[in-house]
């Protein structure tokens, strides 16, 4: 089927009357089917209680003397931006200083505002650039906010709704990328031009400092205000994995940071850190993909190539990320999808290495915040599939203190966690975690996966899954597929473009392994995934339908013939391939779900869920797939939240309703 033969193109008109009438009709059908029983109400209320719990951890980010937090409650569903001191935060009930009430702002302005974050100006942290989204879309309005008066700045920096960026240079200058008019956005829908904008001038008078190419994904610009190391950087993201980076001098000259295009870089004081996605030969030495290298920035710009290896992967271990404190680098690695944390310290005799003190054994621990401007402080969160979260604060070199602990959201006394390895079609071992009660009999089982964009699925405490699924006797499984980042860049690069089929073979192998081990049966095995994981669900539906008893497909890509034409789709061609090229469409077409769903085939029941306000993955993917499956007579239902963006929910009430639909559908079909 070519796009010219597609009878459902009209469903790509997101808010057109005809399309929205169709959406409301499908919503009514799904709601009538899934919400009428007592179980749905119980699921919804239990899930909502998890999301709204007063005793959940209020995670914070340090900005100067204050710790900042965004908090949602039933009384303030769109949330409160607030801050407190460390002394107060140590208390059971801190005294929070309210900065912005998003619900009150929306009512006052007659807008459907959803919080989308804020950038606070260093080093005095007096001004912020607040991002507000209508309904949860990626496109946002940006406004300047005064943290002393706790008011928006009259006549301050402000951008209308667009996919934009606004980055502080100093109190009177910003870098801006937005929709300046014709030819100012890339084919992916992101800014192509960077300008310097001075306070008190019109946006139209901002001065262009850098331009990317129309076919790039986006451009960017940042200013580093670290005293003694003030620097400006600009660059272009050529595709999802390749970038060209420049140091912008005071005179406006651009000096290229000459690292491989697919490497990631970070600059902190005198150091340049380089994370490799592919092998890089420097002089006579070749450094493998997945390495973390360190060199002195000024020397590197001057042409020297003396580098130190801070991390080198092996067959079981990969680097997840690194975080700077004032004097140290904290490395978080995964060994067979289980975390390890260590500290590296530069000195006259090279880099010294030590374990980070106080990291709990058996839990997944992550560094959530550091304060590299002034201290060696860090915040660390630890949790597991059955271990509720614990937030610790430490200073490198000492034992961390426990700041907050979340209570259990479900009874996990009889629930066990096991890691297994399935063998994929090409012989590769694919790890997966099984969470559930030991039982000689099969149980309803929910298998989830993602397998893309170097995203790792790691063990974490999911209260809503625990209450709605595990506590009710279900088994929960997470597959660590190729295409993800669990074993470093090579684990991802094995499964892009022409080798995309490996992701789907891996997931099918995990499903078969669950069945072979007697954990479940095809009739009792449900699967769930969203976004790229939604594409995974679509492929399982069309290519491996006999393995599953029910499928939940959320905010998915499905029409891979046209995905590059829809919203941000063009930015993902480095992952999937370019369907405009016959040689690449040849390997995309066999897995494109919309082109491979057929009348007469036997498919398991499926629930599709998406959002009207998702301006990242177009809701037309799910709409068209459901329309075609309905035409062909398949067992399919559809729910589209009118708000919510790519997360498909704008507040906890919507989020609880969405997940209750999912679990009600799964229990109804798999019990």
The runs of H, that is alpha helices, within 435-499 are 463-465, 489-493
d(Cα 330, Cα 343) in Å, to the nearest integer? 5
**What tokens does 33 get?**
């089917």
591, 585 in Cβ contact below 8 A?
no
Decide if 243 is catalytic.
no
- Is 531 catalytic? The answer is yes
Report the alpha-carbon distance of residue 483 to residue 529 in Å, rounded: 14
Q: What is the DSSP letter of 410?
A: S
Q: In what order do the strands lie in the sheet with 292-296?
A: 264-268, 271-275, 292-296, 308-311
Sign of torsion, CA 46 47 52 55? positive
Report, in this order, helix, strand and coil percent for the chain, each rounded to 5: 25, 35, 40
Identify whether the C-beta of residue 508 lies closer than 8 Å to the C-beta of residue 501: no
Please provide the size of the chain in residues: 671
281 C-beta neighbours (distance < 10 Å), count: 9
343 in Cβ contact with 329 (< 8 Å): yes
Give me the residues paired with residue 345 across strands.
352
With CA atoms as reference, report the closest residue to 3 among 589, 484, 622. 589
Per DSSP bridges, beta strands 606-611 and 550-554 are parallel
Count of C-beta atoms within a 10 Å radius of residue 263:
21
Distance separating alpha carbons of residues 19 and 456, to the nearest angstrom: 36
Q: Which of 188, 456, 493, 531 is catalytic?
A: 531
List, as one string, the DSSP characters of 154-165.
TT--EEEEES-E
Reported in sequence order, the residue ranges of 106-214 that DSSP labels E, i.e. its strands, are: 113-120, 127-134, 140-146, 151-152, 158-162, 165-170, 173-177, 193-198, 207-211
Beta strands in 348-494 (DSSP E): 350-355, 364-370, 377-383, 390-395, 401-405, 416-423, 429-436, 445-448, 475-479
Q: Is 456 helix (H, G, I), strand (E, B) or coil?
A: coil
What are the structure tokens assigned to 473, written together?
Answer: 């006797």
Q: Are 174 and 168 in contact (CB under 8 A)?
A: yes
Q: Which helix H or strand E contains 334, and what residues bound it?
A: strand 329-335
Q: What is the DSSP string of 251-308?
A: TS-EEE--S-TT-EEEEETTEEEEE-SS-EEETTEEEPTT-EEEEEHHHHHTT----E
The answer to whether the beta carbons of residues 589 and 563 sit under 8 Å apart is no
CB 466 within 8 A of CB 409: yes
Give the tokens for residue 471: 């506590």
Write down the catalytic residue from 223, 464, 618, 646.
646
Question: Active-site residues: which are they?
Answer: 531, 646
């Amino acid at each position: 089927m070519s796009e010219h033969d597609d009878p459902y193109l009209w469903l790509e008109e997101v808010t057109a009357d005809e399309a929205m009438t169709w959406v409301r009709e499908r919503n009514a059908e799904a709601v009538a089917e899934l919400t009428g029983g007592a179980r749905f109400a119980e699921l919804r209320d239990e899930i909502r209680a998890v999301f709204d719990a007063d005793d959940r951890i209020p995670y914070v980010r340090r900005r100067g003397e204050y710790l900042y937090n965004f908090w949602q409650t039933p009384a303030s569903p769109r949330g409160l931006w607030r801050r407190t001191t460390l002394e107060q935060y140590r208390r059971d009930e801190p005294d929070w200083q309210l900065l912005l009430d998003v619900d009150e702002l929306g009512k006052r302005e007659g807008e459907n505002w959803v919080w989308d974050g804020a950038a606070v100006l260093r080093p005095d942290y007096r001004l912020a650039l607040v991002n507000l989204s209508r309904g949860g879309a990626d496109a946002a309005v940006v406004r300047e906010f005064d943290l002393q008066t706790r008011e928006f700045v009259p006549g301050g920096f402000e951008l209308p709704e667009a996919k934009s960026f606004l980055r502080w240079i100093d109190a009177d200058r910003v870098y801006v990328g937005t929709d300046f008019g014709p030819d100012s956005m890339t084919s992916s829908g992101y800014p192509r031009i960077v300008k310097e904008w001075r306070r008190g001038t019109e946006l139209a008078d901002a001065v262009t400092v850098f331009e990317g190419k129309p076919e790039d994904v986006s451009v960017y610009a940042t200013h580093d205000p670290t005293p003694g190391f003030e620097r400006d950087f600009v660059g272009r993201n050529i595709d999802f994995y390749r970038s060209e980076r420049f140091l912008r001098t005071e005179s406006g000259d651009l000096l290229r940071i000459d690292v491989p295009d697919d490497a990631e870089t970070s600059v902190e004081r005198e150091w340049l850190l380089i994370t490799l996605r592919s092998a890089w030969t420097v002089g006579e030495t070749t450094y493998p993909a997945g390495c973390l290298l360190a060199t002195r920035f000024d020397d590197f710009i001057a042409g020297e190539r003396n580098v130190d290896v801070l991390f080198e992967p092996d067959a079981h271990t990969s680097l997840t990320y690194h975080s700077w404190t004032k004097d140290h680098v904290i490395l978080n690695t995964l060994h067979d999808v289980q975390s390890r944390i260590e500290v590296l310290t530069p000195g006259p005799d090279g880099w010294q290495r030590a374990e980070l003190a106080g990291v709990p054994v058996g839990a997944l621990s992550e560094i959530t915040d550091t304060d590299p401007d002034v201290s060696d402080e860090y915040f660390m969160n630890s949790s597991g599939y059955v271990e509720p979260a614990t937030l610790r604060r430490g200073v490198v070199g000492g034992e961390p203190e426990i700041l907050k602990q979340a209570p259990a959201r479900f009874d996990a006394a009889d629930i066990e966690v096991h890691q297994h390895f399935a063998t994929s079609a090409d012989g590769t071992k694919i790890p997966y975690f099984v969470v559930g009660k030991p039982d000689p009999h099969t149980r309803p089982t929910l298998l989830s996966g993602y397998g893309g964009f170097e995203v790792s699925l790691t063990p974490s405490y999911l209260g809503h899954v625990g209450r709605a699924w595990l506590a009710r006797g279900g088994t929960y499984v997470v597959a660590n597929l190729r295409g993800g980042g669990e074993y470093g860049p090579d684990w991802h690069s094995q499964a892009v473009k022409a080798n995309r089929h490996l992701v789907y073979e891996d997931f099918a192998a995990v499903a078969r392994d669950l069945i072979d081990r007697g954990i479940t049966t095809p009739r009792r095995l449900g699967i769930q995934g969203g976004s790229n994981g939604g594409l995974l669900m679509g492929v399982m539906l069309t290519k491996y339908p006999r393995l599953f008893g029910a499928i939940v497909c959320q905010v998915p890509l499905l029409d891979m013939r046209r995905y590059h034409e829809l919203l941000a789709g063009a930015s993902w061609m480095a992952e999937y391939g370019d369907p405009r090229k016959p040689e690449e469409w040849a390997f995309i077409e066999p897995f494109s779900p919309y082109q491979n769903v057929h009348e007469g085939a036997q498919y398991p029941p499926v629930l599709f869920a998406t959002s009207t306000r998702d301006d990242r993955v177009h809701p037309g993917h799910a709409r068209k797939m459901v329309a075609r499956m309905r035409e062909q007579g398949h067992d399919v239902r559809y729910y589209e939240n009118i708000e919510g963006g790519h997360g498909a929910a704008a507040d906890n009430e919507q989020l609880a309703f969405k997940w209750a639909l999912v679990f009600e559908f799964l229990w109804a079909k798999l019990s």
